[in-house]
Structure formats: structure tokens, C-alpha cells
A and B are shown apart, each in its own frame.
Chain A
Amino acid sequence: MTTGGLEHVWRGCAPDVLAALVRGYGDFEAAEDALQEALLAAARQWPTDGLPDNPKGWLIRVASRRLMDQWRADRARAGREQLVAGRSPTENLAPAADVAGERDDSLTLLLLCCHPVLTRPSQVALTLRAVGGLSTGQIARAFLVPEATMAQRISRAKSRLRQVEARFSVPPVEQLPDRVAAAAHVLYLVFTEGHTSTTGAGLHDVPLADEAIRLTRRLHECLPRSGEVAGLLGLMLLTDARRAARANGDGSLVPLAEQDRTLWDRTRIREGIGLVEAALPSGPVGPFQLQAAIAAVHAEAARAEDTDWPQIETLYGMLRDLAPSPVVTLNHAVAVAMVDGPTAGLDMLGPLLQDEQMRRHHRLHAVRAHLLERDGRVEEARVAYAIAASLATSIPEQRYLNTKAALQKGRHV
């Protein structure tokens, strides 16, 4: 097996190993450190010694040994003799044979990493490390921050969990919906981070989008009846299906309308649409399901001009009622313009120009410029493209907008 294949195995085992350690020893921080050491040992030994018969058992054994060594070293000053004597490293740490139990464990672990006392960036980092089994260095590179910054973020998060004595158990029923929603949001953030940055020059050693899909798939397996988790997985698959068509050879972005749709990944689209179709009729509709449904409508159009805009307009209207935000209004305006013409869309953008945050966002001006251009208002379009370019912080985006502004100049009114 290749090193990449082996890494796939040890990272796949990571949440169950950690869960077993935390269940056995109770100390999340120490267990997490021990797991990291065991993963390092696997990275050193498996490529030469070969894959162990029972990889999970191997990792648990190595990690437990580290934990015991650590405790022996600490024993004198911490007075933990009692605790060590009372817990044997192997007796209750055999990997659970029961698959349902394992699923619950990795869900419990994810929910623990998304504990409300942690800030969102800390939840994201801890999830990738504890549930995703990524090293601190890999996470730091994925988010383009120095390793020391990421190490600090993770260690703060762990000690915060210890301070509040967060328990390794499924949260009480009344807290569960909020915790699952937080976990879904964390996975969504991981996905968008990976999805938007993979088009850039930087190729990461771990594609975050793939990681987010893997973990969301796992969450969906644990909670198959959660419509929003299914919707989130569908949204990720449908968005990721366009990956190959999203960037030109030079890394510049290709807008949805101009993408070569034959490059879209049909398998992902089929799976995504299946998830949306199963989730929508079965329960309360949520924002992820609606966004997935919108992505599904786009995916079903063989050519951009075949897009069912009236349906997309309706779905954005529902999204606005359910989770109103300036960004939703902006997307809704695009759909309205496609159905009723550019003036109708421009009317909806008016109030957004008064919004403190939105008016500094390049996308509002880019959309406005595009609608003005379609409406034949060339000079206004040029000004709006120029404003959008000056606000953009993405290099390909800025290049695209500057080109559009320059093109308006050459036109005759």
C-alpha cells in the first residue's frame, strides 16, 4: 500500500482511537496528545513494516502506552498512583466491535470539538485535528498561518475544554440540535475554505474540501434523519462536482455561466441530487437543504441558458424567509434579474448599497455592474466594475473585474 493509502487508514481510525482513549482515561487533552504520537509512530513504522492486521488496535495500544508512560512520569508530583492502579491500559480499550457504538463515539467527539465555549476558528482547528486526524502543521498550511499560531489555537482550545470540564458524552437532548448545527457549520467552514483556496496557486497536501466531505459523510451516517446534515452533504457534493471546471490553466476563475459543464463530476452530482430529493420532503426545510436544492437546479442544466431560473428564484425567496441576510438578498436579486430583467434585480440592490458591511463587499458592486451592463448603462457599469475591483482581495477576481471595467470604456453609448 502507498504511504498515501496508509495515511488514509490511520486518519480514518483517528476519531475512534481518540474516543476509546477519552472513554478509558477521561482526559481529552492527554488522550489527544497520545493519539498524535501514535499517528506519528504509524507514519514512521507502517510504510516499512506494512499495515498492521488491526490498525485501530495498533494505534490504541501505542497511544495507551504513551499515556501510561506520561502518567508514570507525572505520578510522583501529581499523586495519580490511585488512578493509574485503578485503570488498566488494555482491559477496557479493546476497539469496540459494535459498529453503532463506533459511530456514536465519533459523533460524540465531533460534538465535543464543537463545544459552545470555543470560538469558531478553535472549533474548526480542533475538529480537523481530533476528528480528521490531521497534524497541526497540515492544518496550519491549509489555513496559510504559521504552525506556531495554529499550535497555540489548538492547545488553547484543549485547555479551555478542560477548564469547563467538558465531558465526553452525547450532550443532553435539549442541547443536541444546537450542537449538531454548530458541527455542521464548522464542517461547512472547512469546506468553503478548501473549496475557494484550491483554485489558487497554493496546492495543499490535504485538500480541505475532501476532508470536509469525508467528515460530513460520517456525520450523515450517524444522523441519517437530519435533513440539514443531508442537505449540507448534498451542497458540498454538488459544489465540489464543479471543481475541474472552476479554474482556467492560469488559476483564474471561470464564472458558473461560462464553465465547461462536461467537466462536472456526474457521480457527485447524482449523489448530491439524491440527498436533496430524499431530504426535502421528509422534514423541516433548512438553509443547507435550500442551498443544496439551488445547486441541484444549476447541476441539472446541461447548458447555462437551460437553467431553470424561476425555480432558483423561488428557492432564494424561501431562503430569504428562513435565513434572511444581505448575501441571500444579493443572490436573490441575481435570480430575479434572470427572470424579470436587470431593472428588477437592480431595484433589489438599492437597499444593500446603504448596508455598512455590504457596500464594502466587492460582490455587491460586481453584481450591480453586471446588471447595469446588461441594461445598457455602460458608464455606470464601468464605475461599478472599478469599485468592485478596488474592493476585491482575491487576485484573479480583481484581474477579472479590472478587465471588465476596461472593456466598458471601449464601448460606445
Chain B
Amino acid sequence: MKYVILIHSNPEPWGHPTQIYTAEGRALPPERHDEMDRQFDALMTEISASGELVTAEALADPAAATLYRWSPEGHLATEGPYAEAKEHLAGFFLIDCDSRERAEGIAAVFAQPGGVVELRPAMWSGGDDQ
């Protein structure tokens, strides 16, 4: 089963890894950051080796985004971030796991100061058999 792990965050300035650029992240001592980094590296090594990590991308500053809206007259493009969002999509990981429990275990490690991590099952075009 495939899942995406969506990292929502609002780093100031925009940068990766996002947790060191948020107010909550800056408030943490360096040792805590080191510890989180170690945990994260261990997880990345593990899910790369097991083949569960399918792909991952860090996204550029939402200021670099272009938004398209549909209107009866045609498509309307606006430059810049999606204003209504408090936290922006900062990056995503696509994983392929045996069970939802496993995916939850992986996603939990992504929790970070000053951001929200969302785990969503991916949909597919086939169907379960009767």
C-alpha cells in the first residue's frame, strides 16, 4: 500500500530541513536537533534498504509558486504563495508499506517542531477482489 507523508510547515526564512527554521525549532537546544537528526537518518537508512521509500522531494519557497484558477473565460495564473495557507507544503515522501500500522510508525518519526505531518493513503486504479 502506498502512502504519502506530507510535511506542512512555515519556516522563516524558507529552508530545509524546515524544523531548524521555525520559531519552535530555534527554541530547542542543539543536542535535541542532533538527536532528531540521528533518529531521522536511521529511519531513512532503514526504509531505503527495505525498499519502502519510493521517492521524496523537498519543495522550493512557496513564493516561487504559480497558482492557477479556472474561470469561464480561461485560466487565471497568479504568482506567489497560496495566501490562505498558514502552513505550506514543504516536501513529501512517498512510501510503500505492508500495513497502515507500519506507515504510521514511519510517519510518526517525521513529527517536527513548528510543523504538521500528514499521512495519507494513496488511491489506485485497481479494485479489491470479491
Give me the interface of A with B, judged by CB distance under 8 Å: 119-122, 125, 143-146, 149-150, 152-153, 156, 192, 195-202, 239, 246-247, 251-253, 255-256, 357, 360, 363, 393-398
Contact = CB atoms under 8 A, between A and B. Distances in A.
A143 B53 CA distance: 13
B127 interface: yes
B35 interface: no
Contacts of A394: 123-128
A199 B127 contact: yes
Contacts, number: 81
A363 B128 contact: yes
B122 A393 contact: yes
22 contacts: A122-B51, A125-B51, A144-B2, A145-B96, A146-B55, A149-B53, A152-B48, A156-B49, A196-B127, A196-B129, A202-B125, A246-B129, A247-B127, A252-B127, A255-B130, A357-B101, A363-B128, A393-B121, A393-B122, A394-B126, A394-B127, A396-B125
A395 B124 contact: yes
Contacts of A197: 124, 126
Given A153-B50, A196-B127, 4 more contacts: A145-B51, A200-B125, A394-B126, A396-B126
B1 interface: yes
A246 B126 CA distance: 11
B96 to A, nearest CB: 6
Interface in B98-130: 98-101, 121-130
A149 B97 CA distance: 13
B54 interface: yes
A152 B49 contact: yes
Nearest to B101: A357
Contacts of A144: 2, 124
A395 B51 contact: no
Nearest to A397: B127
Contacts of A253: 127
A103 to B, nearest CB: 31
A156 B55 CA distance: 18
Nearest to A259: B130
Contacts of A239: 129
B65 to A, nearest CB: 25
Nearest to A256: B130
A252 B125 CA distance: 9
Contacts of A252: 127
A199 to B, nearest CB: 5
B74 to A, nearest CB: 29
Contact of B54 (A146, A251, A360): A146
Interface string B77-99: 00000000000000000001011
Contacts of B96: 143, 145, 149
A220 to B, nearest CB: 22
Contacts of B122: 393
A42 B37 CA distance: 48
A357 B96 CA distance: 18
Contacts of A398: 123
A397 B98 CA distance: 20
A395 B128 contact: no
B127 A121 contact: no
Given A121-B98, A255-B130, A360-B100, A153 B51 contact: yes
